[in-house]
Structure 1
Amino acid sequence: MPLDVIMPALGMAQETGQIVAWHKQPGDAVAKGDILFEVETDKATMEVEAAADGFLTDVVAGEGADVPVGDVIAKISDSAESSSQTETPKTAAAATPTDDLPKGKEVIMPTLGMAQDSGLLVAWHKQPGDQVGADDILFEVETDKSVNEVNAGFDGYLGATLAEAGEDVPTGQTIAIITAERPANPVARKSAAAPAPQAAVAEEKPAPVAKAQPAKVTPAPATDGRILASPKLRRLALEQGLDLQRLVDAGHPQPFHVKDIDALRALPQSSSSATAATAQAAGRLTAELADEGFSDFADWAAKSAQLTDTAALLAGLCAASYGSDTTVVVESFGLTRTYAASAHLSATQPCEDAARLRVRDLRFSAITSVAVGAEDVPTLTLMRNGAGLTITLEFAPAQLLPSDAITLLSNFAGRMEQPLRHLL
C-alpha cells in the first residue's frame, strides 16, 4: 500500500513550506533514510528523509511550490508506476470526522524529526473552551529523541481537542481546533488514528486451571550498551533515584518513554541500582557573556560563505571547543538535528550517528535558567541574557572530568562571544 509523503511541520506556528529542491525523481527507487527533498520555512532549510523503502511516485508539487503543512505531495509505492488511487491529495487530518467540529484554525501534530511519523501526546496544557494566546503552550509531545512544548500558534479559544494524552498521533493529523469565538459546546475526543475497540467475544470459556509458574523474563535486545530513553524520562529517573537499567533487565521494549515511569517504579529496587543512580548526580557549570557575537557571525557566514544552517554552525563551534571532531545534536524550535561536527565549519554535515554532545538553543525562548540534570550526553544550553548569553553545561561524572568540562565550557563561551576566533 502506498505511503503518503506529507509536507512536514518544522516550526510550531508554520502553515506552509516551500520545496527548495527534489533529491529524487518520480520512479526513482528510495531507501528509508534517503533524502527526498529540501523544504524551507521562515526559520530554516531542512532535508526531509524517506520514511520507508520503495519508489517515489505521484509527485504533485514541484520545486518552488509553497505547500500547506500536512498536504500529501508524493507517495512511496511498491513499484515505479503511479498509484492507482485517484483521490485528491489532502491533509492527513481529513479522515477526522468534522460534522460536529467547530470552525477555526487547525493545529496539527508537528514533525519534530526528519524520520518521525508520529508523536506521543504527553499532556494538554489547556482544556476545551479555554482562551489561548498564540504563544501559550498548548500541549507537550514526545518523540524518541526529545520532549517538546508546542505553542497554540493562534489567538482564540480551544474549540476542540482531537487526541488524548498518552496517544501516539500521526504527524500532520489535526489534534486541535482554535476558534475565534468561545465555543458553546467544546469537543474532546480520541485520535482518529486510535485503534477501534475489539468486538466482544461471543462466548467465553473458562481457562484451564494450572499451577502458577514464575514468569520468565527475556532480556531486551542488545543496543551497544546504550539505553534508548527520552530526555524527560531520564530526568525523572534521575530526580527519583531510579535506574533505567532495571527496565532493560526486565525486558521492556526500547526506546523508553515517560509512560514507562510507572513500570520502573513498580520494579524492585536493588542496592546496586540505588548506588548507580546516585553516581549519576549531575555536574553543572554556568558562563555569562555580556555580549554575544554569534548572531552577527551567522549572518556573515550565510552571506559570505553560503553556510545557512545555523544549527550546523553551533555544532561546529561545539566540536572545536571539545577539541576534536565528534557528533553533536542541536535542539532548537522543536527540531532535533544531529551532525558529524568538524572543527572546519564547512565540513560539518548531518548524520544519524549517536551524539556525544548536545547543544540546546533556547536563545529565542523566555527561559532564563535551567537545572535539568545529567542527560544521555553532556548538554550545553544557550539562553539570552540581555545583549549577551547565559551558557549552562550539565553532565554526569562518567561523561566528563571536571577539568574537561571547564575547558569545554570556557572554549565554547569564548567562541560564542567572539566566533571569529574560530577562524584564526
Structure 2
Amino acid sequence: MPHEVIMPALGMAQDTGKIVSWLKSSGDPVKAGDALFEVETDKAVMEVESPADGYLTHVQAEAGADVPVGHVIALVSEMAESSDTVAKAPADADGGDQTALPEGKAVIMPALGMAQDTGVIVAWHKGLGDPVAAGDILFEVETDKATMEVEAGVDGFVAALLAEVTEAAPVGDTIAIISSEAPANPVQRSIAGGTASKPAATPAPAPNAKAKEKSKPAPSPKQGSKSPAIRSADGRILASPKARRLALVQGLDLNRLAEAGHPQPFHVADLEVLKAMPAQAVETTATSSRHLTADLPTDGFADFAEWAAENADLKDANAVLAGLAAASLGQDAATIAVESFGQSRAYFVPAGAFSNIVEAEEDSAPDLILRDLRMSRVSTVSLGAENAPVLTLTRAGSGLSITLECAGHHLSASEAVSLLSKFAGRMEQTLRHLL
C-alpha cells in the first residue's frame, strides 16, 4: 500500500508551503527518513522526509509551486512504476458531507515534529459558537514527545469541531472551522463516526414536566453530577504542558489524580486538588521506594566519550550518556533528562544510532533522569523518589558509583536491578556494550 507524502504544517498559521526543490526524482528508491524535498514558509526552509521505504512516485507539484497544507503531493510506493492513484487531499475526504460544513478559516492538525503522523486532541478550550481571538488557545494536542497548546490563529466564531477529545487526527486534516460571523448551524463531528451531528435542541417540556421535576428530591452533594473522567485510549495521562512542568518541579504525581477518577485533561488548578489529597499509605511501606547502588572499579565512559568526539562526531557527551541510559531501559524510544553543573537538558533517544539523538521538545516529561555529579564533591546520595527513576553518578576513588532511586510504581524490583546492572556495564566497558 503506498504512503502519502503531504505538504506539512510548519507553523500554526501556515496555509501553504512553497516547494523549493526536490531532493529525489520520480522513480528513485527512498528509505524512511530520507529527505524528499525542501519546503519554504514565511519563517524557514525545512527538509521533508520520506514516511516509509519504497520508490517516489506520482509527484504532483514541481519546484516553485505553492501547495496548500495537507494536500498529497507524491506517493512512496512499493514499485517504481505504480498504477495507484493519488488520494484526494484531506480537506476533500468527506465528499458530499464536506459541503455541509460552514464557511470559514480551516484549522488543521499541526505537525509538531517531522516524523509525526497524528496528534491526539487533549482538550478543546472553546466550544461551538464561542467567539475567539487569534491569540486564544483553541485546543491542546499531544504527540509522542509533548503536549502543546494551539492558538486559533484568526478572530471569529467556532463554527465546527471535527474531532473529539482523545481522538487522533492525521497531520494536515481539518479539525475545526472558524467563521467570521456567529454560525447559525454549528457542526460537531467525530473522526470515528465521520457523520455530522448538530447539537440537538432541548425538547419542549410536557405540561406536567415542571410539576414532576419539583417533586423529585434534590440530589445530595455526594450525588452531584461530576464530569466523566476522560482518559486517552492508550492509558496516557492528559495534562497541559504547564501542569506537567509544575508537577515535575513540585514532585507531584499526576497518576494519583487519574487513579482518583479526577476528570482529565489536568490543568494547573488541578494541582491544588492533588496537593490537598491525603498522603498515600503505601508511602510509609518498605516497597514505596527503591534505592540501589553499584560500585565500578573503573570509569570507562570518559575515554569512550573522547574517542566518540574525535572519531564518530559525537561531541555532546551528555547526549551519549542519554543514549546509554535509554539503551539500559530497554525501550524503543525514551526521553532522558541529563543534569550536570546545575543545568538540565532533555534528549529524545530513538532506536538506532546515537547520531539520531536530538534535544527533546520543551516540557517533555522524562522517562528517566540522569544526574551527573562526577565533578562535584558529593560521594553518596539518598534524595528519595521523584516523578521518574533517577540514576546518579558520583566518584568513588578511581572508579565510579551509580545510584538508582525510584518509586515502587516506576519499576519493579527486578526491573530496577536490570536497569542498574545494564547501565553500570555500559559505563564500565562502554565500547564492548555497543558492539
How high is the sequence identity, in percent, across the aligned residues?
Answer: 49
Q: Give distance in 2, aligned partners of 1:327 and 1:36.
A: 32
Q: Which whole-Å CA distance do the structure 1 matches of 2:253 and 2:125 have between them?
A: 24
Q: How far does the alpha carbon of each residue in 1:362-386 deviate from its partner, in whole angstroms, 9 at most, with x for none?
A: xxxxxxxx9x98775689xxxxxxx
State the shift of 1:105 in Å: 0.9
- Other-structure match for 1:188: 188
The 5 Å alignment of 1:273-312 reads 274-275=288-289
SS of match in other structure, 1:148: strand
Cα pair distance change 1:126/1:230, threshold 3 Å: closer
- CA–CA separation in structure 2 for the residues paired with 1:63 and 1:38: 9
Q: Give the aligned length.
A: 264
**Using a 3 Å threshold, how does the CA distance of structure 1 residues 31 and 154 change in structure 2: closer, same or farther?**
same
Query: CA shift at 1:73, angstroms?
Result: 0.8
Task: Write the letter of the residue equivalent to 2:390.
Answer: A
Aligned to 1:295: none
Shift of the alpha carbon at 1:141?
0.7
Question: Do the aligned partners of 1:50 and 1:115 also contact (CA within 8 Å) in 2?
Answer: no
CA distance in 2, matches of 1:103, 1:327: 52
Q: Is the 8 A contact 1:377 1:395 kept in 2?
A: no
Does the 8 Å CA contact 1:126/1:138 hold for their aligned counterparts?
yes
> 1:163 touches 1:169 (CA, 8 Å); kept in 2?
yes
Residue in 2 that maps onto 1:163? 163
In structure 2, the partner of 1:388 is none
| Distance across 2 between alignment mates of 1:171 and 1:193 | 19
Q: Which residue of 2 aligns with 1:93?
A: 91
Give the TM-score, by structure 2 length.
Answer: 0.51
Partner AA of 2:92 in structure 1:
A
In the superposition, relative to structure 1, how do residues 8 and 356 fare at CA in structure 2: closer, same or farther (>3 Å)? closer
Please give the residue correspondences for 1:211-290 in structure 2 after superposition, counting only pairs within 5 Å. 239-240=252-253, 242=255, 271=285, 274-275=288-289
The residue type equivalent to 1:130 in the other structure is: D
Residues 20-99 of structure 1 aligned to structure 2 (within 5 Å): 20-85=20-85, 90-96=88-94, 97-99=97-99
Q: 1:120 to 1:32 in 2, by over 3 A?
A: same
CA distance in 2, matches of 1:229, 1:125: 18
- Matched position secondary structure for 1:98: helix
**SS of alignment partner, residue 93 of structure 1:** helix
Q: 1:10 deviation in Å?
A: 1.0
Between the aligned partners of 1:141 and 1:45, the Cα distance in structure 2 is 24
Q: How much has 1:359 moved relative to structure 2? A: 7.2
Q: CA deviation at 1:28?
A: 1.0
Cα distance in 2, alignment partners of residues 272 and 94 from structure 1: 59
Q: Check whether the contact 1:133–1:153 (CA below 8 A) recurs between aligned residues.
A: yes
Alpha-carbon deviation of 1:193? 7.9
Cα distance, 1:93 vs. partner? Answer: 2.7
Task: Give the aligned partner of residue 109 of structure 2.
Answer: 109
Alpha-carbon distance in structure 1 between the residues aligned to 2:192 and 2:366: 37
Residues 398, 106 of structure 1: CA spacing in aligned structure 2 closer, same or farther, 3 A cutoff? same
Conserved 8 A contact 1:60-1:74: yes
Q: 1:377 to 1:84 in 2, by over 3 A?
A: same
Distance change >3 Å, CA 135–CA 23, structure 1 → 2? same
Q: In structure 2, how many angstroms separate the alpha carbons of the residues matched to 1:139 and 1:168?
A: 13
How far residue 35 of structure 1 moved from its aligned partner, in angstroms, is 1.6
Is the 1:126–1:139 contact (alpha carbons within 8 Å) kept by the matching residues of 2?
Answer: yes
Shift of 1:83: 3.6
CA RMSD, 1 decimal: 4.4
Residue 225 (structure 1) aligns with: none
Structure 1 residues 123-176: Cα deviation after superposition (integer angstroms, max 9, x where no partner): 101001001111111111111111111111111100000000000111111100
4+ residue runs over 3 A deviation: 192-195, 228-238, 268-274, 322-328, 350-360, 372-379, 394-402
Hey, what's the Cα distance between the residues in 2 that align with 1:91 and 1:273? Answer: 54
Kindly provide the amino acid, as one letter, of the partner of residue 160 in structure 1.
A
Counterpart in the other structure of 1:389: none
Amino acid paired to 2:171:
T
List gaps (5 residues or longer) in structure 2. 196-235, 257-263, 267-280, 292-313, 323-334, 336-347, 372-385, 395-435
Contact 1:357 1:378 survives alignment (8 Å): no
Q: Give the residue type in structure 1 aligned to 2:34.
A: D
Unpaired runs of 5+ residues, structure 1, are 196-227, 244-256, 260-267, 278-318, 329-337, 339-349, 361-369, 380-393, 403-424
Contact 1:109 1:171 in 2 (8 A): yes
Choose 1 or 2 for highest CA Rg: 2
d(CA) in 2 for partners of 1:193, 1:377 = 41
Instruction: Identify the residue that residue 220 of structure 1 maps to in structure 2.
Output: none
Q: Aligned partners of 2:64 and 2:73: how far apart in 1?
A: 13
State the alpha-carbon separation in 2 of the partners of residues 101 and 67 from structure 1.
22
TM-score using structure 1 length: 0.52
Q: Distance in 2 between matches of 1:356 and 1:396?
A: 20
Per-residue CA distance 1:59-109 (angstroms, 9 max, x = gap): 111222221111111111121114442x6x642131132132111111111
Q: d(CA) in 2 for partners of 1:55 and 1:230?
A: 38
How many angstroms apart in 1 are the aligned matches of 2:361 and 2:2?
37
Say whether the 8 Å CA contact 1:358–1:378 is kept in structure 2.
Answer: no
Residues 1:9 and 2:1 aligned together: no
Asked if 2 retains the 8 angstrom alpha-carbon contact of 1:121 and 1:140, the reply is yes
C-alpha contact (below 8 Å) 1:23/1:37 kept by paired residues: yes
Aligned equivalents of 1:46, 1:269: Cα separation in 2:
50
Question: Where do 1:377-396 residues align within 5 Å?
Answer: none
In the alignment, does 2:141 pair up with 1:141?
yes
Instruction: Summarize the Cα distance change of 1:82–1:194 in structure 2 as closer, same or farther, 3 Å threshold.
Output: same
Aligned to 2:390: 398
